A and B are shown apart, each in its own frame.
Chain A
Amino acid sequence: MATVERAALRWDYAPAPESRDAAPLKPRYDLFIGGSFVAPTDGTVVETRNPATEETLAEVAFAGPGDVAAAVDAARGAADGWAALPALERGKYLFRIARLIQERARELAIVETLDGGKPIRESRDVDVPLAAAHFFSYAGWADKLQYAFGGRAYEPRGVVGQVVPWNFPLLMAAWKLAPALATGNTAVLKPAETTPLTALLLAEIVQEAGLPDGVVNIIPGDGSAGAALVRSEVDKVAFTGSTAVGKEIQRALAGTGRGLTLELGGKSANIVFEDAALDQAVEGIIEGIFFNQGHVCCAGSRLLLQESVAEEVVRKLWARMERLRVGDPLDKNTDVGAINSAEQLARITEMVEAGEQQGAVRRSVTCALPDAGYWFPPTMFLDVAPANRIAVEEIFGPVVSVTTFRSPAEAVERANNSAYGLAAGVWTDNGAKAFEVASKLRAGVVWQNTYNKFDPTAAFGGYKESGFGREGGPAGLAPYVRLGG
């Protein structure tokens, strides 16, 4: 009988890049104002780049002050008609947008990854499906608003100005637009400077869905366009971004009577107790800090470990970090992609250096990083003093700082010892402890035995310097209406 050798086989994943052909980009994208794509009148045209390769993807029109005013005028002109539409009809438009997002899901995911650097795995499985889910969820609310406000009378705010960040470009646009439209407002949305493309594809979808002209206006631009928008004659401002800019906006709007919600930074605590399921906690820590390269406002950037299991968790976490696949964001097996911009990379690098100088022990994964583009290896800091900058300030990158605690009370005290209060994670197999600790945490979202889970029906928002107002679920409708008796 012939025998066959069982050779010593080695096995690695072959490159599995998502095809760029499935997402053909136009050479240039204009401003979406009053239902049409228009060239800027006093703005500029800039190139948007792929942060993983630094190659130019397309030209994008940036709005100038006159363009911002034109967009607000268009929204104002559409406001009465949109508000007067039967709520069921408004809901149908939202359903249509949701379905079109699903139809173009693959294209949207690829463009999100190209423009922002996040792994295709995430844009495909998280960003795009969740964006559609938000429109579906709020489409259902449109004709049921009386149940969201306890039977009180309500009317739309009117025109809302919305400024979204670069970390979840399409998803944040969905978070902002869906509740605003469901409640009968018209909107001017400004995507982030470095990631305008998926918002402009959403503008195409809005057009295709046949929304009345001017109901949704999408105007890319830099910080000055955002500043102009929030200071325009709008009835409500919704901003997601840095705490510094949020404070400026709040100052500018003080006394104007305009509505404002802010979803700002965070330095969220992820607390692991000794009685947690440790292997799953490690997965949650990974998800908490390396999801989207840590460019997540609610990232679990402060890891608090009970001293009795700290060594074991750190060992497991490090082993897991070494298995993260860092590289080409379009590869379907990539876990950690590119840093969103040169500017953000510089900020992360500066913070990490400061952390080292202030005595924390740095451990960064050794992995081959591409030559072009912006990259930062997954990193943890041990022996982090509570006053160290990396324990206090938001890094917004793939960097977790680790400290220990001895008792639940100490864990709560340390977790709450922050200017921020956006999110927290609690890991324990003991249900009573989980609820007791969660109830004491001053954070808008507390995840138990999981992290970075988002759902359109759940409210999201912060305490303290993480902002105010809630997005998602019925709570997310309230900021977009004026309530009567």
Chain B
Amino acid sequence: MSRSLTPVNRVGVEERAAALGRRSIKTTAKREGIRLATSMIDLTTLEGSDTPGKVRHLCAKAVCPDPSRPELPSCAAVCVYPSLVGVAAAALEGSGVAVASVATGFPAGQTSLKVKVDETREAVAAGASEIDMVISRDAYLRGDDRTVAREIEAVKEACGSAHLKVILETAELPTYAHVRHASELAIAAGADVIKTSTGKASSGATPGVVLVMLEVVRDHFERTGRVVGVKAAGGVSTTKAALHMLVLVKETLGDEWLTPDRFRIGASSLLNDLLMQYAKLDGGHYGRAEDFSKE
């Protein structure tokens, strides 16, 4: 069966997304926005050089981003490779910060379904309550939507009670219409959250891509009443970019979606920029980068 795409106009999407980026977020709105963005972060490390020590440091930072500012909330989750889930789970126990893990042959997804499912089960068994899977772009670009859906369904089943975030890797999808279509496909196959990117591709969560995905989630909610979350990952590394994301959410889905249950930002370096900007609101001047620990 040939694929039918709902049209999305590139110029219109990017114009709207850019217009929302010009909202003026100052004073109390900036302060609250930084706190909100902090609470939505999936603090992420996905490097070949990750060690248990680094992950433990990151976990401590996710729980208490800045010990000198206790009013700043914890991050939503820490996101690691499956082999480090156990370390993160132990470090985060009782903190309210979730353990998320990429699985399914991240970031390329070029492994068999069996391997993907096994990897998912392993991560969940080790203590991950959230799984970030990648769709098979290979199948999607061939037009084999059925395989893409089947894989999502299988991984969803392997998740058990863990939440499933489905990464579309939008940089590898040809058009916004495909972003929309793939979002709908992932939602229909059982995604709890749709996520833009792995962070390993040429671009990540651009405002246009996030806007289109938010619109899909809004339309799906209006049609079915089912809440699906969105995760913007990749390239959201500044406070300005994070606040832009919050504006997109607020003006597309409304205030109800401005919670970590429904919107996440996957990032590693963003948190320190948020902390620096927050400190500037108090002190009137920027701190030094070395005032904030990297992990």
Q: Hey, which bits of chain A sit against chain B, CB under 8 A?
A: 1-14, 16, 121, 125, 275-277, 279-281, 283-284, 315, 323, 332-333, 429, 449-450
* The residue from B24, B74, B250 contacting A4, defined by CB atoms under 8 A apart: B74
11 more CB-based (< 8 A) A-B contacts, given A3-B74, A3-B96, A9-B32: A2-B63, A4-B73, A5-B73, A9-B36, A16-B25, A276-B7, A279-B215, A280-B16, A281-B12, A283-B12, A429-B7
B23 CB contacts on chain A under 8 angstroms = 13, 332-333
A280 and B13 contacting across the interface, CB-CB below 8 Å: yes
B60 and A449 contacting across the interface, CB-CB below 8 Å: no
Complex A-B, nearest 7 residue pairs according to Cβ-Cβ distance, in ascending order: A280-B12, A429-B7, A16-B24, A332-B24, A277-B9, A14-B29, A280-B9
* The residue from A4, A11, A333 contacting B258, defined by CB atoms under 8 A apart: A11
B12 and A449 contacting across the interface, CB-CB below 8 Å: yes
A13 and B24 contacting across the interface, CB-CB below 8 Å: yes
21 chain-A/chain-B pairs, Cβ below 8 angstroms = A2-B63, A2-B64, A3-B64, A4-B65, A4-B72, A6-B74, A9-B39, A10-B32, A10-B255, A13-B23, A14-B25, A121-B22, A125-B22, A275-B7, A276-B7, A277-B6, A279-B12, A283-B15, A332-B23, A333-B23, A449-B12
- Give the Cβ gap from A274 to chain B, nearest Cβ, in Å: 10
A276→B9 CA distance, assembly (Å): 8
A281→B60 CA distance, assembly (Å): 47
- Give the Cβ gap from B223 to chain A, nearest Cβ, in Å: 10
B7 and A277 contacting across the interface, CB-CB below 8 Å: yes
A9 and B35 contacting across the interface, CB-CB below 8 Å: yes
B70 at the interface (CB under 8 A from A): yes
Residue among A2, A11, A125, A284 with max Cβ neighbours from chain B (10 Å)? A11
B94 at the interface (CB under 8 A from A): yes
B65 CB contacts on chain A under 8 angstroms = 4
A13→B15 CA distance, assembly (Å): 21
Decide: A6 near B24, CB < 8 A? Known: A277-B9, A283-B15, A449-B11: no
B260 at the interface (CB under 8 A from A): yes
B73 and A7 contacting across the interface, CB-CB below 8 Å: yes
B27 and A14 contacting across the interface, CB-CB below 8 Å: yes
B39 and A11 contacting across the interface, CB-CB below 8 Å: no
* The residue from B12, B70, B95 contacting A277, defined by CB atoms under 8 A apart: B12
A11 CB contacts on chain B under 8 angstroms = 29, 32-33, 36, 246, 250, 255, 258
A10→B251 CA distance, assembly (Å): 14
- Interface contact tally, CB-CB below 8 A: 103
A279 CB contacts on chain B under 8 angstroms = 8, 12-13, 215
B8 and A280 contacting across the interface, CB-CB below 8 Å: yes
A9→B24 CA distance, assembly (Å): 19
B8 CB contacts on chain A under 8 angstroms = 277, 279-280
- Give the Cβ gap from A459 to chain B, nearest Cβ, in Å: 21
A14 and B64 contacting across the interface, CB-CB below 8 Å: no
B285 at the interface (CB under 8 A from A): no
A333 and B24 contacting across the interface, CB-CB below 8 Å: yes
A98→B32 CA distance, assembly (Å): 41
A333 CB contacts on chain B under 8 angstroms = 23-24
B28 at the interface (CB under 8 A from A): yes
- Give the Cβ gap from B58 to chain A, nearest Cβ, in Å: 13
Of all chain A residues, the one with the shortest Cβ separation from B212 is: A279
- Give the Cβ gap from B170 to chain A, nearest Cβ, in Å: 17
A1 and B95 contacting across the interface, CB-CB below 8 Å: yes
B22 CB contacts on chain A under 8 angstroms = 121, 125, 332
A12→B25 CA distance, assembly (Å): 9
B26 at the interface (CB under 8 A from A): yes
A323 CB contacts on chain B under 8 angstroms = 251
B33 CB contacts on chain A under 8 angstroms = 11
A6 and B258 contacting across the interface, CB-CB below 8 Å: no
A284 CB contacts on chain B under 8 angstroms = 12
A4 CB contacts on chain B under 8 angstroms = 63-65, 70, 72-74
* The residue from B9, B26, B72, B258 contacting A449, defined by CB atoms under 8 A apart: B9
A6 and B260 contacting across the interface, CB-CB below 8 Å: yes
B25 and A13 contacting across the interface, CB-CB below 8 Å: yes
A5 CB contacts on chain B under 8 angstroms = 73-74
B63 and A3 contacting across the interface, CB-CB below 8 Å: yes
A6 and B73 contacting across the interface, CB-CB below 8 Å: yes
Decide: A14 near B11, CB < 8 A? Known: A4-B63, A7-B73, A283-B16: no
Of all chain B residues, the one with the shortest Cβ separation from A322 is: B254
B6 CB contacts on chain A under 8 angstroms = 277
A2→B64 CA distance, assembly (Å): 7
A3 CB contacts on chain B under 8 angstroms = 63-64, 74, 94-96
A449 CB contacts on chain B under 8 angstroms = 9, 11-12
B28 CB contacts on chain A under 8 angstroms = 14
B95 CB contacts on chain A under 8 angstroms = 1, 3
A13 CB contacts on chain B under 8 angstroms = 23-25, 29
- Give the Cβ gap from B107 to chain A, nearest Cβ, in Å: 28
A275 CB contacts on chain B under 8 angstroms = 7
A8 CB contacts on chain B under 8 angstroms = 259
- Give the Cβ gap from B149 to chain A, nearest Cβ, in Å: 24
A8→B72 CA distance, assembly (Å): 12
B32 CB contacts on chain A under 8 angstroms = 9-11
A323→B255 CA distance, assembly (Å): 11
A284→B96 CA distance, assembly (Å): 43
* Residues of B109-157 contacting chain A, CB below 8 A: none
B39 CB contacts on chain A under 8 angstroms = 6, 9
Of all chain A residues, the one with the shortest Cβ separation from B7 is: A429
A125 CB contacts on chain B under 8 angstroms = 22
A14 and B255 contacting across the interface, CB-CB below 8 Å: no
- Give the Cβ gap from B280 to chain A, nearest Cβ, in Å: 16
- Give the Cβ gap from B216 to chain A, nearest Cβ, in Å: 10
A277→B15 CA distance, assembly (Å): 14
A4→B215 CA distance, assembly (Å): 32
A7→B24 CA distance, assembly (Å): 24
- Give the Cβ gap from A57 to chain B, nearest Cβ, in Å: 23
A280→B15 CA distance, assembly (Å): 9
- Give the Cβ gap from A273 to chain B, nearest Cβ, in Å: 10
A316→B94 CA distance, assembly (Å): 42
B67 CB contacts on chain A under 8 angstroms = 2
A5→B32 CA distance, assembly (Å): 14
A10→B35 CA distance, assembly (Å): 10
A279→B217 CA distance, assembly (Å): 13
Q: Mark B63-79, 1 if CB is under 8 A from A, else 0.
A: 11101001011101000
A1 and B260 contacting across the interface, CB-CB below 8 Å: no
- Give the Cβ gap from A2 to chain B, nearest Cβ, in Å: 6
A16 and B26 contacting across the interface, CB-CB below 8 Å: yes
Of all chain A residues, the one with the shortest Cβ separation from B218 is: A319
